[in-house]
Structure 1
Amino acid sequence: MASRRSIVLLAVTAAAAGAATEAVPAAGAGRTACDLLTGWTLLACGAWGLARHPRRARWALLSASGLAWFAANLATALAYAHRGPLVHAAVAAMPRRPGLSAASVLPAAAVAAGYADAVVFGNGHGELDVAVAVLLAALALRAPPRLAGAMFALSAALAIAASTALGDVSASYAGAALYAYEGALCAGAVLLASTASGPARAGITDLIVELGPARRSPRTRDALARALHDPTLEIAYWLPARQEYVDLEGRPVTLPAATDGRATTVVEQGGERIAALVHDASLLDEPQLVGAVREAAGLMLANDRLQAAAGAQVVELLASRRRMVTAGDAQRRRLARRLNEGPARHLAEVAATVRAARAGAGAPLTTDQAELLDLVEAELGQGRTELDELARGIHPRVLTERGLAAALAALAKRAPFAVDVSAPEQRLPEPVEAAVYFVCAEALTNAAKHSGATTARCHVSVDRGRVCVDVVDDGAGGADPSRGSGLHGLADRVEAAGGMLAVSSPAGEGTTIRAELPCAQ
């Protein structure tokens, strides 16, 4: 209460001082009255805002604009000093957006141009007025309704000022433009002050109706953002079983620190934590508004939390599938390595022994002995070939040792028809390389067995964190993904990696298998 009395006393003193300064210039009664009304309006609106929200800098800036208005009567160099803090006050009312983007740079540019305009305009640079007017109008398109009205009014005021600075106007036009300029300033200040009262009670009532249990809305966040006049609002849902916050899709959310201009309001229902509203820190000055919105949205957020919990289960299921595929690939690599290092090496040693026995025989071999040794060597060779094919089917060594491009080139050489391969030489994460390789291998195997293809093409590309795979053949087409387990297994593998698999196979036009997977390097 004491701070409010101090603000009122300060406003009265400033208003009296302003009235005294109007006695300095020699102007008519009408001109003096308009100057007084403009300065007092700026001061009164700033004092009104300070009384309601003393911690918000915009109201101190608006008051400073009023003081600067009257200070111009004492020094002509200060004639346009009111514009800097006035533009700053309007821009400061914009909800802050985290991160560096056009939405965050535009307000800073408007403030800088506003202060530059206040300093430079006296030298006849009306171009700055135009720039600030355009910036304010652009910001108004993103602002809540009342703040948008204030910004449009200030933009109009600066456009009027620019028309007198950039053109050769008559004295009568200049006088009329000055009255219009002051009127637009007053309108902008009043509209800006109206934002201090928060949204009307009807807005909260509309929110309760929209979010009531009888009208479950999928746009909860948008409705809350409108009620709070904060387009940056985020909602995090609390899952007690996992002791963490998630978004509506079930992805984990980390609440921001209190030092980055964001604040968190916890929503409870029946004493149980339901969600958290992450909003602009300036809303902490309006605890009644935030509390009303929190109470109105409690039931709706409780319902939405069920969806978030289901989404979290889906996310965990996908993560579990991904872990299973990764573990399976690791097991396949180990098994393939053991086959190459164990049985395959043993067969090679036996083959070497047979050759040594043939070469070291003291007497010429009989026909039966030679045929027997030939049969043993042939069987050993066939066994090694089949073992190599088994190892490649489990997990090709070339993929592990040399990467995807080399593995696909080797795969193309073993195909019964010509295969054109295009793949990046760079190494990709092991799960991605394995998924891409087996997509290509299964597609070429199907083409060889069922389509009668004579040529095929495997194209792999990496773009903006995603790997795209296209396998196209010129076979008979007509492939049905619902038959057989090969394509089903591929789809499961690709989806477990967070990707998607599509098959296009019109009869008589060949088959195209396309897969897309995320690839975090």
Structure 2
Amino acid sequence: MTTAPPPHLAEALRRPGYLLSGWPWRALAYAVTTVPIAGALSVGLLVVGAPVLVAVNSVRQGRPVELPLVLFLTVGALMILVSAPIVSIAVTTVERQRLGIVDPRPVPAYRWQGLAARYTTAAAWREVAHTFWLGGLVPLGYAVFTLLVLLDLTLVASPWLANVDDEVIVIWNTIDTPGQAVPYAVVGVLLLPALTYGLGVLAAVQGAVARWLLARPADGAALREINRSRARLVDTYEAERRRIERDIHDGAQPRLTSLTLQLGLARLDVPEDSPAAAPLAVAHDQARNLMVELRQIVQGIRPQSLTDLGLAGAVRELAGEATIPVTVHADLGQPLPELVESTAYFVVSESLSNVLRHSGATRAEVRLALAGGELVVEVSDDGHGGADPARGTGLTGLADRVAAAGGRLLLASPPGGPTLVRVELPCHR
């Protein structure tokens, strides 16, 4: 199975092939396009920042701050506060486009909501904070990195610089001949990969801060309402599921069973050479097949073994039906909500089915445990691994079922195995 490409620069930095990939060039492009924007913003901030330093220095020396300086700082601060929400529109619009260089994940686009919103909404002031970050702290980081690059280039070029008539000072030593400079040049060449990683880290941090400030979070109250709405939908679904199961189990299934028996008795009473024998046999077989299908439907809604044996017993029954040895470890010391039980059962059922069909495993293991108010379900096998949700709907459907119950599904399946499916389900709402 081919490894998926890293989704963003921060992830690419953790992979061994970073230096040979295109990500260092993307980090460089992001840095280069940052310089004019951050430079222009830093100049604007220095117009007010330099007088602030003068005022602070005067206070430290015990001298009074002159009135014109105070007026200038006051007017400058007010102008920045008034203009920053407007200036940040252009800055963050460009940043949203540039961010795709190092982090292609989508960022919400800017939407004009009126002039008053630029001064009253949290999202607007987060954009202002990004503008100050880009014009204040980012230039300092790039300045330090530039000094390191110049120092490294000096080390690399020191053998050629030593040919000039003037003395050359490398770090703290004086170099007179190219031979003396060779060790420094070697060190400089060895430091080039570290500087490449350093630029990647600098760009990744800048991009992460930009994403954190510009990807406006959903309103907390709306988010809580969504969660409550999802919980209500799940409860409604569970109630309807139980009603359908009860109606089928108590109504349609017994009547179909009775019909099958009546057809069977009728077959015994009808002679084999009778014209009605063949159609009656077909009807009897169809009724029996329909009864099996209906039983499977009921089993799919909520397995009877889950009702009779509980989660641990039902999972052990699944393990006993598998064609490979399956070990079950269950540590459940308290009753579980019905939704949690049924979700966990179907997770184990689908996972074991995938193991038998696709993994080539010789054994599997199922663990059920309560930890921190959550039911943890783990299904592992010794197969060849390489499970990929993108290649089928089974794992995706499991993840959707788990998410509907408020949990999460984690998958570890490297090529060559082993495979581990871990599901965490909250046992309270």
Shared fold by TM > 0.5? no
**Relative contact order higher in (CA < 8 Å, ≥ 6 apart):** 2
- Work out which of the two has the higher radius of gyration on C-alpha atoms and give 1 or 2: 1
> With structure 2 as the length reference, what TM-score do the two structures score?
0.44
> With structure 1 as the length reference, what TM-score do the two structures score?
0.37
